[in-house]
């Protein structure tokens, strides 16, 4: 992606911040990391709720045959 | 065995019997209980693997970051400012400084315990417990009861004086009107009833229960274990409890006397036998290869893969009580 691309992220990504010397990071940089982590937490919590609400698949009993239905 | 190092000048050891420990923390007592030979290598000779385990590195930084947060909160800082302090610590302390302003990040072999999962676990834990019902006690010296160093005398005599039990408590909190010790744990395994069951009986938790009762002066209801399950892409937290009745801590303490008598016997005989039923615990003992080699070759192996340090459990970390 070109340097001046309008699609380029306005804010540095977490990966980019991680590449920098931590002693040079500003509060703004750290806040950006925290914001990303918080967003991930919201997404994780959403997935957790969704997976808990998902109806459990019932499993067919093992070892049954058509003959069993006719008994 | 090799010649017992002269420990008589060390504060935590007997001044007359080399290799006899005088001040015991949960780590050294735990090593003795696990395997006398492991105890000898780790505590008396002071061997540590040159490459520190990623689990240990993660745990140290996790505890320290949460401790910094608790201190800042107790000073009146906002959640976000205190959290920033913890984040700053995690970023700055997980790099290795090299000559000429160069640096490299801590490289972990564990996919679920590295810089990024450390930061994530710290931020998610602190956000989850921002409005925590468990509030840190403020001590009489106005400092928060965080990372408290303790020591107290027990009946067992070494050099005609009482031996010491010592250590550090993560936090003392008030929760539902009662006082608890709060301890942080991290794991990659599922946190459930079975996970929390491992803390009773447990050497460390029994010592903490006893210490809190003795040094805090008030009965402490139990220990809160804030467990963090650290996975590659997420972290989960669950709060569990472990309780010790006074009769249980009394029993644990009376058994400590037997263990210290064993330690004294080992030191006087100069023999710390291997417990070869413990070699596979916790992912395998780091000294397994040493013990499996011919006795004449062990010193060479130790020098190749380990470095020595002086074990001193009496060095305080945070606030002395």
The predicted-structure confidence for A22-57, as pLDDT tens digits, reads as follows 999 999 999 999 999 999 999 999 999 999 888 777
Residue A15: predicted pLDDT: 86
- Measured between CB atoms, which of A18, A23, A37 is closest to B124? A37
Residue B282: predicted pLDDT: 82
Residue B101: predicted pLDDT: 87
pLDDT interval class at A7 (50, 70, 90): very low
Q: Which of B105, B234, B237 to mutate to test the interface with A (most CBs of A within 10 A)?
A: B234
Contacts of A18 in chain B (CB under 8 A): 105, 115-116
Residue B286 φ then ψ, to 5°: -65, -20
User: Is cis: bond before B291, omega within 30 of 0?
Assistant: no
Contacts of B91 in chain A (CB under 8 A): 22, 25, 30, 33
Residue B251 φ then ψ, to 5°: -65, -45
Residue B320: predicted pLDDT: 45
Between chains, do A34 and B87 touch, taking CB under 8 Å as contact? yes
- Rounded average pLDDT per 10-residue block, chain B, 321 residues: 85 95 97 98 96 92 96 95 98 95 93 96 98 92 89 95 95 94 96 97 96 80 97 97 94 97 97 98 93 97 95 72 44
Residue B210: predicted pLDDT: 94
Between chains, do A38 and B127 touch, taking CB under 8 Å as contact? yes
- Measured between CB atoms, which of A21, A25, A37 is closest to B123? A37
Specify the pTM: 0.89
């Amino acid at each position: 992606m070109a340097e001046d691309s309008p699609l380029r992220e306005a804010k540095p990504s977490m990966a980019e911040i991680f590449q920098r010397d931590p002693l040079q990071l500003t509060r703004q940089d750290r806040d950006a990391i925290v914001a990303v982590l918080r967003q991930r937490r919201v997404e994780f919590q959403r997935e957790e709720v969704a997976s808990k609400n998902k109806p459990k698949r019932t499993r067919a009993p093992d070892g049954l045959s058509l003959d069993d239905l006719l008994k | 065995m090799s010649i017992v190092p002269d420990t008589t000048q060390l504060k935590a050891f007997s001044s007359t019997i080399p290799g006899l420990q005088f001040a015991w923390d949960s780590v050294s007592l735990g090593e003795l209980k696990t395997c006398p030979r492991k105890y000898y290598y780790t505590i008396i000779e002071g061997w540590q693997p040159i490459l520190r385990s990623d689990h240990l590195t993660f745990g140290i930084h996790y505890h320290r970051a949460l401790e910094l947060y608790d201190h800042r909160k107790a000073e009146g800082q906002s959640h976000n400012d205190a959290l920033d302090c913890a984040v700053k610590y995690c970023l700055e302390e997980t790099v290795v400084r090299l000559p000429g302003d160069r640096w490299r990040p801590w490289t972990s072999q564990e996919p679920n315990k590295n810089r990024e999962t450390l930061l994530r676990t710290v931020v998610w834990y602190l956000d989850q417990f921002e409005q925590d019902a468990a509030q840190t006690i403020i001590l009489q010296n106005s400092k928060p009861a965080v990372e408290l160093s303790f020591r107290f005398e027990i009946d067992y005599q070494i050099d005609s004086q009482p031996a010491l039990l010592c250590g550090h408590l993560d936090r003392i909190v008030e929760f539902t009107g009662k006082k608890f010790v709060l301890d942080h744990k991290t794991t990659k395994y599922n946190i459930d009833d079975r996970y929390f069951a491992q803390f009773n009986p447990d050497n460390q938790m029994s010592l903490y229960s006893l210490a809190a009762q003795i040094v805090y002066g008030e009965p402490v209801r139990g220990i809160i274990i804030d467990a963090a399950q650290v996975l590659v892409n997420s972290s989960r937290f669950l709060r569990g409890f472990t309780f010790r009745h006074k009769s249980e801590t009394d029993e644990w303490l009376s058994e400590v006397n037997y263990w210290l008598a064993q330690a004294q016997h080992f030191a006087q005989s100069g023999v710390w036998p291997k417990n070869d039923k413990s070699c596979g615990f916790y992912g395998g003992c780091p000294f397994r290869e040493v013990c499996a080699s011919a006795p004449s070759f062990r010193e060479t192996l130790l020098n190749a893969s380990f470095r020595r340090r002086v074990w001193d459990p009496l060095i305080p970390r945070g606030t002395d009580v």
